[in-house]
Structure 1
Amino acid sequence: MGIAISSTLLHRLLNEARASPGAEICGLLFGTSERIEAAEPTANVALDPARRFEIDPAALFAAHRAARICGPQMIGHYHSHPSGLPIPSARDAEAAMGDGAYWLILTGDEAGLWRSVAFGTFEPVALEQFCMG
């Protein structure tokens, strides 16, 4: 089973990753288990953004707060691997909470979607692009 994403949104995220070849980009994903409806960029506050990412805690807190008052549901996050593959890295595995969150990993040319299913463990999820009409 996959998750749907508009080709427009996916291309926007790939362009963001391509525009930042020296640092990982990151942001939050919103939607349902069937569809990624929106993605909001956040600041990468990691001490070494060229090699890792850390979503701005204020943005994360605001997203959780909005969801509690009937806002969009946060289903995961995205980040880039500027010189890597769109697969979880060892650092990603260290951060995986096993909470079912989606991890969209971008390279600028490719995207891979993963779901955190156990501490340090991911399962691949098919990305099903659709055109907005």
Structure 2
Amino acid sequence: MATRLTSGALATLIEEATRAHPREACGLLLGQGDMIETALPCANVHPQPERHFEIDPAALIAAHRAARAGGPEVLGYYHSHPNGRAEPSVTDRAMAAGDGRVWAIVASGAVSLWRDGPAGFVPLGQA
């Protein structure tokens, strides 16, 4: 089954990337199964947010706690490439955990989805 994204989540991704420019926006992808229902914006706490992202650990912990309590699952993560392409960068590939989660990457108004697998990123298509 293909990973799907609601229109509301897609709109949030594009809006957040636009709002954060020239910094990288970042956040969590929440939902059930293969349906991403919500893109939850999080603070980018990386010391160089113009070139890198780091999701606020407190937001990540809170989302996992909420999921354990019956809330939406943490299906993956998103970030923007303010001056790049909607595909994993060299840094993204180096930092990936290979945990099977979905990454949404936003650039120039486009959103692409990727699965972070043990052998690297696998494209899931454009959102």
Q: Which runs of 5+ in 2 are unaligned?
A: none
Residues 86-106 of structure 1 deviation map (CA, whole Å, 9 limit, x = unaligned): 000111111111110100000
| Amino acid of the structure 2 residue aligned with 1:61 | I
Runs of 4+ in structure 1 deviating by more than 3 angstroms, as ranges, are none
Give yes or no for contact 2:110–2:126 (8 Å, CA) kept in 1.
Answer: no
Helix, strand or coil for the counterpart of 1:24? coil
Alignment of 1:39-78 (within 5 A): 39-78=39-78
Q: So what's the TM-score if we normalise by structure 1?
A: 0.88
Deviation at 1:111, TM superposition (A): 0.6
**RMSD of aligned Cα (Å):** 1.5
Give yes or no for contact 1:105–1:112 (8 Å, CA) kept in 2.
Answer: yes
Give yes or no for contact 1:114–1:125 (8 Å, CA) kept in 2.
Answer: yes
How many residues align structurally? Answer: 127
Deviation at 1:80, TM superposition (A): 0.2
| Amino acid of the structure 2 residue aligned with 1:13 | L
| Amino acid of the structure 2 residue aligned with 1:4 | R
| Amino acid of the structure 1 residue aligned with 2:12 | R
Q: Distance in 2 between matches of 1:101 and 1:39?
A: 14
Q: So what's the TM-score if we normalise by structure 2?
A: 0.92
Q: Which residue of 2 aligns with 1:102?
A: 102
Q: Distance in 2 between matches of 1:100 and 1:45?
A: 23
Q: Which runs of 5+ in 1 are unaligned?
A: 129-133
Q: Does 2:3 align with 1:3? A: yes
Alignment of 1:111-122 (within 5 A): 111-118=111-118, 121-122=120-121
